[in-house]
Amino acid sequence: MGEAIRIEILREAAERFVAAEPGRLGRDGWWRKPLVVSAPIDQRFDQLPDIAYHEHFSPRELLLTARSVVVFFLPFKRELVRANRKGNRPCRDWGLAYVQTNDLIGRLAGALGDLLGEHGFQSGLTPATHNFNEVALMARWSHKHLGYLAGLGRFGAHRLLITPAGCAGRLGSLVTEAELGDHPVIETEEACLLKAGKECGECIEACPVQALEEGDFDRRRCWDRLKDNRRSLSDFSDLPETTHVCGKCAALMPCSFKNPVAELVKCTPSRDVGCP
């Protein structure tokens, strides 16, 4: 039997780990403060084959003795997101950040697993990306859907998860034997302005290949664009073959750095002036 560990300990460890990354890289990091949530493995995760992909793994297929799911979000810094706004193709830094963030996600998940191990709990991990079916273009382990079920964020019209720190960033997850409890962070039922009945659709407008529509997403069209970016951009030629990025639907959107619906809720009628 392991000794008690709390979500706060994992959150502090994740913050320290991400804060130390610039020192390791010898350059500024791409990330703001990480968000970490946990949820007990209960019936909500039975929905995964329905809401994500019919071949989606159940958490206990990663680790039979798992009791909790942990999902984290590494939000990108504003400068990086701003730099990727220009033009219809991703900037080199966006590609580089993707590669370095994938590496960080793997090591951070490993470090959290090690910390849990020190407390006597085993963990089960999966890679940050490319763990999907190339024909269906669906992940067998979707950090995004796990984050949704664990209360890290809500889906936007762009199909990204909008967290309290926005949608511009990357997700990772693990399962563990530790009983960490339910620790969501999302404050509202919806976090997308359009889904909350407000005007927006900026992400739909921003997509260079019209892969997004309200209520629909052409996954194949998006994926083809990601691959084309890797193939055709000369300043991506030294990046790994798996650098499949675009990010235009997350670049300086109302939901890039925050949950815009939470801001609306905070705006009471008497303080309405200046609300988004």
Q: By CB under 6 A, how many residues form the interface with ligand SF4?
A: 25
> 39: exposed, middle or buried (C-beta count within 10 Å: 0-12, 13-18, 19+)?
buried
Separation CA 223–CA 259 (nearest Å): 26
Only segment of 15-23, 47-55, 62-70, 205-213 that touches ligand SF4 (CB under 6 A): 205-213
Residue 200 within binding range of ligand SF4, rule CB under 6 A: yes
Cβ-based nearer residue to ligand SF4, 32 or 195: 195
Residue 177 within binding range of ligand SF4, rule CB under 6 A: no
Contacting residue, 192, 236, 244, 259, with ligand SF4 by CB under 6 A: 192
Separation CA 150–CA 49 (nearest Å): 16
Residue 201 within binding range of ligand SF4, rule CB under 6 A: yes
Cβ-based nearer residue to ligand SF4, 7 or 262: 262
Question: Can you spell out the DSSP letters for the chain?
Answer: -PPP--HHHHHHHHHHHHHTHHHHHTS--SB---EEEEEE--GGGGGHHHHT-TTPPPHHHH-TT--EEEEEEEEBPHHHHHHTTSSSS--HHHHHHHHHHHHHHHHHHHHHHHHHHHTT--EEE--SS--EETTTTEESS-HHHHHHHTTS-EE-TTSSEEBTTBSSEEEEEEEESS---------SS--STTTTT-S--HHHHH-TT--EETTEE-HHHHHHHHHHHHHH-GGGTTS-TT-----GGGSS-TTSSS-HHHHHHH--GGG-TT--
Cβ-based nearer residue to ligand SF4, 16 or 86: 86
Contacting residue, 29, 151, 156, 169, with ligand SF4 by CB under 6 A: 156
Cβ-based nearer residue to ligand SF4, 48 or 212: 212
Residue 212 within binding range of ligand SF4, rule CB under 6 A: yes
User: Least distance (Å) from ligand SF4 to the CB of residue 24?
Assistant: 28
Residue 194 within binding range of ligand SF4, rule CB under 6 A: yes
Only segment of 31-39, 42-50, 92-100, 201-209 that touches ligand SF4 (CB under 6 A): 201-209
* Mask for 240-269, x = binds ligand SF4 (CB under 6 A): ------xxxx---xxx----x---------
User: Least distance (Å) from ligand SF4 to the CB of residue 93?
Assistant: 16
Interactions with ligand SF4, residue window 217-236 (CB under 6 A): 222, 225
List interacting residues with ligand SF4 (CB under 6 A): 156-158, 192-194, 200-203, 206-207, 209, 211-212, 222, 225, 246-249, 253-255, 260
